[in-house]
Structure 1
Amino acid sequence: MAPVYPKFDVTQSGHLQVSSIHSIYWEECGTPTGVPIVYLHGGPGGGIDDTDRQYFDPAHYRSVLFDQRGSGRSTPHASLEENTTWHLVGDIEKLREHLNVDKWLVFGGSWGSTLALAYAESHPDRCLGLIVRGIFTLRREELLWYYQQGANFIFPDYFEAYRNAIPEAERGDLMEAYYKRLTNDDDEDEQLKCADAWSRWEVSTSKLIVDPAYIAKADDPEWALAFARIECHYFVNGGWMRDGQLVGDAPKIKHLPITIIQGRYDVVCPAKTSWDLYQALGGAANKNVDYRLVGDAGHSAHETTIEEALMDAVEKYKSIKP
């Protein structure tokens, strides 16, 4: 198992104006002549963290990380205008062209895996391969499992606070009820209360063993608001794609080297989705695909065995040439 790399500095960073409204923050690390790899963060709305760059050997990779529209240091903060899956796919291409990258590896977990698949299926000729974790494809069944009924059978205590933020009369469609409140800028108190409840539900259930320190991420109201607003915006709109599109279009990328890493006990993005994707890519018959079901982990990239699997994959992909 390869270790996570010690902290290292960003080599260059900036903001790229990707529309008349949105400017995205980006940073580049490692060696300028290295194999390019782009990191796609989760959420949507989560933003990048300083530890995210530590997956990539700075002596080998030219790693690129960025905050998606409305997230992190991108502006305007928490904005939903012109913020869809396909806007983000376009932003990845704009950033690739801005940095004069011909092709790159694509690395993403959770929502980052969704965006990685959407990008790769749209631009397979620009991808050297994919490393994806905690697979989420935005199908309606996946959303209902986690945000309406399913995951609550496993985490009833944490679900109660998420459910109780919504009046009983509106609990038949919790995502829609949250969306109404998270987008109501005239009631900031209600907006922040719902952002806290939505975000706290997710961070509470992301690890196999509940981690109070991880739950504390939701204590930051600025982070929670962007995270909850943008997630809910994407989910009530089905990602602006037909249901099942990313799994259905998976054959478009089955020629690429792809590593799928999935926690067996992932409650946020259950293993069925990763299995459906694996089968759509050809399953065991496709030697380009490496499917790793990690038997003692949940959803978070920061669980030890998931992190080990990610690092092993990034090390294996050192053999890929641009």
Structure 2
Amino acid sequence: MGYRVAVVGATGNVGREMMAILAEREFPIDEIAAVASSRSQGSEVEFGDTGKMLKCQNLDNFDFTGWDIALFAAGSGPTKIHAPRAAAAGCVVIDNSSLYRMDPDVPLIVPEVNPDAIDGYTTRNIIANPNCSTAQMVVALKPLHDAAKITRVVVSTYQSVSGAGKAGMDELFEQTRAIFVNDPVVAKKFTKQIAFNVIPHIDVFLDDGFTKEEWKMVVETKKILDPKVKVQATCVRVPVFVGHSESISIEFENEISAKEAQDILREAPGIMLVDKREDGGYVTPIECAGDYATFVSRVREDPTVDNGLVLWCVSDNLRKGAALNAVQIAELLGRRHLKKG
């Protein structure tokens, strides 16, 4: 016996990835609905590689009554209107937007890190999925925090254009093509040319000079991992289609060696340690695309601080950073609360 699952925003990058992962992981489904804006009503999306085509239904008049779980990948605007409506109808919402992440009554979940927090979903019937760059980082930090207690994290991210949606991917492709054929390079989605460039600016600037993306990494890490951990982030957009990379410097309360950290990470859930100190002995975004794991490489001791480590972390942002984490939350919800049969 399975669940009735609605994927909201089914025509977007993350929505399609949710469909694919639900099928790949054989999530127990009795019925699945593809839901999108009125613009996409009637268009078809494939349910993973099953060959089953689903006609998109209009979110504006979709009735969530009788549906068990709704995976939302529709952005904050539509989510603000329709997530409470779904939750009130008895459908548990797992939301990929930033809207509910810092709501104290909504659990913010990475299943490998804070699974017990999901028990608080009943307050609003909504569960939040974290920011893509936060999700992969806390998966890498959690086992190390358990072992030696992290006090401070400094992270620089190298985030792919797919984090900005289809428009971001299209812009990188179009600008790259324009450069090769000597056409004008036009920046629409990003503030500057992204092709053959890096942009130290994701989301809007705040009064303190940090961007909202950087702020998200700080506050979400505290909510998911530990409110006492200090976090400083610099978030950069790079000309990569899929896969976020992070250089993470970590300070600990207790002593921990690089060898101990490698041994811990090698056994940690959701992590694949690839750390050979030789040419090519590390993972790059191209190699992580399409994979479930959060890859960790280049684990080394930081000689500039007491009890410090530095590591490289790479993950498919459309998967672990969004769609996979949402499906894992649904699996966790099923095991703990929505048991069938």
- Bigger CA radius of gyration: 2
Give the TM-score of the pair, scaled to structure 2: 0.28
Larger fraction in helix:
1
Larger fraction in strand:
2
Higher relative contact order (CA 8 A, sep 6+): 1
